[in-house]
């Protein structure tokens, strides 16, 4: 069982590294030694007061020059540091929000910006942004669960973005946009029944876009568009809808088959009517032809057709005993003025 160390209990000390003075870490004592000791050497070894004074003065001048150079370098470094911290690069498509001691005092455009050291600049985007909602929980008119995947495209008015940051803050999308999107989709889908939501998805999209646009306009947030990627229901409900669709399709297919059979029967009836009318017309025409033919047959025509059937060189005809000639002598008499022998 581990015990936490008690407050105030001594613990192991880490060995501190031993420090050695470096040439750049010279204090007042070292500088005094550097200036005075060389000046005392002529006095100690020869009593040369003049030489000692000259050496002391030269050392003092040298130390002063070194201090002056160090001071100039420090001033230049501090000035460069101040200028560097006062320069900001605002990216394209952004606006610089100017802060002074934590308070927003203005805004600036994109590009290189220089502000006083006591002010700072934070870049805020004015480009079109996109918020994707993977699954928005909504309801239909009959309280059936509806899940919507949607995207909202928007941007912030450049001239009013400092007011938005001052009143809401940089997390304005989480505070203003997200809650309204969830609520507006619920208010839109509840106007339709479950089977009406999919056919009216464009109406739902336009309704939500109009409501969000009106609600966010006061905060200088401009809604560019609202897109619906998907609308789905619970799996059991989707399965029941699919079964109903299958049954409806089967019923439509059966009704279509009945229509086809009915059309085929009508076609056969019409075909039979056409055949009967054609046969009747043919019989009528044949009867008319027979009647005309019957009226046109005369004894002379019969005799003429009989002669036409005889061979051209017939001279003697044999007929049964007791029968009369069916042809008159005028028909079988030779033509051409002969004597009839």
> Domain locations in the chain?
28-83, 89-124, 129-233
Quick one: pLDDT at residue 162? 92
Range name among 21-25, 75-79, 92-96, 181-185 with the lowest pLDDT average? 21-25
- Contact by Cβ (8 Å): 140, 189: yes
More confident residue, 171 or 10: 171
65: its two tokens:
């020059």
- Contact by Cβ (8 Å): 181, 208: yes
- Contact by Cβ (8 Å): 171, 124: no
In sequence order, which ranges of the chain are alpha helices (DSSP H)? 28-46, 49-85, 161-167, 172, 178-189, 194-197, 201-216, 235-296, 299-309, 329-332
Measure the CA angle with vertex 303, ends 297 and 309; round to 5°: 105
Contacts of 46 (CB under 8 A, 6+ apart): none
Q: How confident is the model over 305-338, as pLDDT tens digits?
A: 676 666 566 555 555 665 555 555 555 555 444 4
% residues pLDDT > 90 (the chain): 32
- Contact by Cβ (8 Å): 153, 130: yes
* β partners of residue 230: 149
- pLDDT band, residue 5 (cuts 50/70/90): very low
In the predicted model, is pLDDT for residue 4 greater than 50?
no
The reply to whether the predicted model has a pTM over 0.75 is no
- The average pLDDT across 166-195 equals 93
The whole-angstrom separation of Cα 192 and Cα 185 is: 12
- A 10 A CB-CB count for 55 gives 20
Return the axis-axis angle of helices 201-216 and 178-189, rounded to nearest 10°. Answer: 140
Return the axis-axis angle of helices 28-46 and 49-85, rounded to nearest 10°. Answer: 160
**What's the fold here for domain 129-233?**
Tetrahydropterin Synthase; Chain A (3.30.479)
The whole-angstrom separation of Cα 172 and Cα 332 is: 131
The H or E element containing residue 137 is strand 129-139
Beta-sheet pairing, 87-90 with 111-114: antiparallel
Phi and psi, residue 274, nearest 5° = -65, -40
- pLDDT band, residue 6 (cuts 50/70/90): very low
3-state class of 87 per DSSP? strand
- The average pLDDT across 82-108 equals 86
Q: How confident is the model over 21-33, as pLDDT tens digits?
A: 444 455 565 555 5
């Amino acid at each position: 069982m581990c015990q936490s160390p008690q407050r105030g209990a001594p613990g192991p000390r880490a060995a501190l590294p031993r420090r050695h003075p470096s040439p750049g870490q010279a204090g007042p004592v070292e500088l005094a030694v550097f200036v005075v000791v060389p000046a005392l050497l002529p006095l100690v070894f020869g009593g040369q007061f003049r030489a000692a004074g000259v050496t002391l003065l030269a050392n003092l001048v040298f130390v002063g020059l070194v201090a002056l150079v160090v001071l100039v370098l420090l001033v230049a470094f501090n000035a460069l540091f101040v200028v560097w911290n006062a320069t900001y690069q605002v990216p394209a498509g952004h606006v610089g929000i100017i802060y002074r001691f934590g308070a927003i005092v203005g805004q600036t455009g994109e590009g290189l910006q220089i502000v006083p050291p006591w002010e700072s600049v934070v870049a805020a985007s004015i480009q079109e942004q996109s918020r994707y909602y993977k699954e928005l929980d909504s309801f239909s008119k009959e309280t059936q669960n509806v899940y919507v995947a949607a995207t909202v495209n928007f941007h912030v008015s450049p001239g009013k973005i400092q007011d938005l940051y001052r009143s809401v803050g940089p997390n304005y999308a989480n505070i203003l946009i997200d809650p309204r999107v969830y609520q507006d989709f619920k208010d839109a889908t509840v106007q339709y029944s479950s089977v009406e939501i999919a056919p009216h998805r464009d109406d739902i999209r336009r309704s939500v876009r109009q409501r969000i646009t009106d609600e966010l306009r006061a905060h200088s947030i401009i809604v560019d568009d609202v897109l619906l990627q998907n609308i789905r229901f619970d799996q059991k409900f989707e399965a029941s809808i699919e079964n109903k669709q299958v049954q409806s399709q089967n019923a439509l297919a059966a009704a279509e088959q009945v229509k086809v059979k009915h059309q085929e029967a009508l076609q056969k009836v019409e075909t039979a009517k056409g055949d009967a009318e054609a046969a009747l017309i043919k019989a009528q025409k044949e009867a008319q032809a027979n009647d005309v033919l019957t009226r046109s047959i005369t004894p002379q025509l019969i005799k003429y057709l009989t002669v036409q059937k005889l061979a051209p060189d017939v001279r003697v005809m044999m007929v049964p005993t007791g029968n009369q000639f069916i042809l008159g002598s005028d028909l079988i008499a030779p033509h051409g003025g002969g004597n009839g022998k």
